[in-house]
Amino acid sequence: MKPRLGMKYSTTAELKYSLSCYAVANGYDTWYEKNDNTRLLVRFCKGKNLICPFRLYASWMKKEHTFQIKSLITEHKCSRAFKLGSIVTYKWIEKQFVNDVLESPKLSLRKMKALVSKRYNINVSVGQCRNAKKLALSEVEGSLKEHYAKLWDYATEIRRANPGSHVEVFLVPQPDNTMVFDRFYVSFKGVVDGWLDGCRKGLFEVVKERLPDVEHRLCARHILVNFHKKFKGEQYFKPFWRAVNATTVPKFEATMNEIKSLENRAYNYLTERYPRCWSKAFFREGMDCDAVENGVSESFNYVVLDARRKPLITMLEDIRCWAMQRLWM
SS3 label, residue 170? strand
CA 40 – CA 33 distance, rounded (Å)? 8
Q: Give the model's pLDDT for residue 208.
A: 63
| CA end-to-end distance (rounded Å), the chain | 37
Cα-trace Rg, the chain: 29
| pLDDT over 90 (residue 19) | no
Q: What would the mean pLDDT of 35-64 be, rounded to a whole number?
A: 80
Structural contact between residues 59 and 39, judged by C-beta atoms closer than 8 angstroms: yes
pLDDT band at 306 (very low <50, low <70, confident <90, very high): confident
Lowest mean pLDDT across 56-65, 163-172, 203-212, 272-281: 203-212
Q: What are the residue boundaries of the structural domains of the chain, listed by start?
A: 8-73, 90-145, 220-282
What is the average pLDDT score of the chain?
Answer: 84
Q: What would the mean pLDDT of 266-292 be, rounded to a whole number?
A: 87
| pLDDT over 70 (residue 204) | no
| pLDDT over 90 (residue 241) | yes
Q: Give the model's pLDDT for residue 206.
A: 62
Per-residue CA distances from 231 to 157, 245, 262, 287 (Å): 46, 21, 10, 33
Q: What would the mean pLDDT of 271-300 be, rounded to a whole number?
A: 84
CA 146 – CA 159 distance, rounded (Å)? 21
Lowest mean pLDDT across 77-81, 97-101, 197-201: 197-201
CA 278 – CA 294 distance, rounded (Å)? 11
CA 147 – CA 99 distance, rounded (Å)? 16
pLDDT band at 216 (very low <50, low <70, confident <90, very high): confident
Sort 23 into a burial class: Cβ within 10 Å, 0-12 / 13-18 / 19+.
buried
Q: Which residue has the higher pLDDT, 127 or 123?
A: 127
For 237, the enclosing helix (H) or strand (E) is helix 237-245
pLDDT band at 209 (very low <50, low <70, confident <90, very high): low
Lowest mean pLDDT across 92-96, 99-103, 321-325: 99-103
Non-local (6+) Cβ contacts of 217 within 8 A are 277, 278, 283, 291, 292, 294
Of the spans 45-54, 173-182, 240-249, which averages the highest pLDDT? 240-249
Q: What is the pLDDT of residues 145-191, one digit of tens each?
A: 888 888 999 999 999 999 999 999 999 999 998 888 899 999 988 88
SS3 of 32-61: EEEECCCEEEEEECCCCCCCCCCEEEEEEC
| pLDDT over 90 (residue 84) | no
Looking only at the bridges linking them, the beta strands covering 179-187 and 166-173 are: antiparallel
Q: Give the model's pLDDT for residue 267.
A: 95
pLDDT band at 271 (very low <50, low <70, confident <90, very high): very high
Q: Which residue has the higher pLDDT, 104 or 237?
A: 237
Q: Which residue has the higher pLDDT, 85 or 187?
A: 187
Q: What would the mean pLDDT of 61-69 be, rounded to a whole number?
A: 89
| pLDDT over 80 (residue 73) | yes
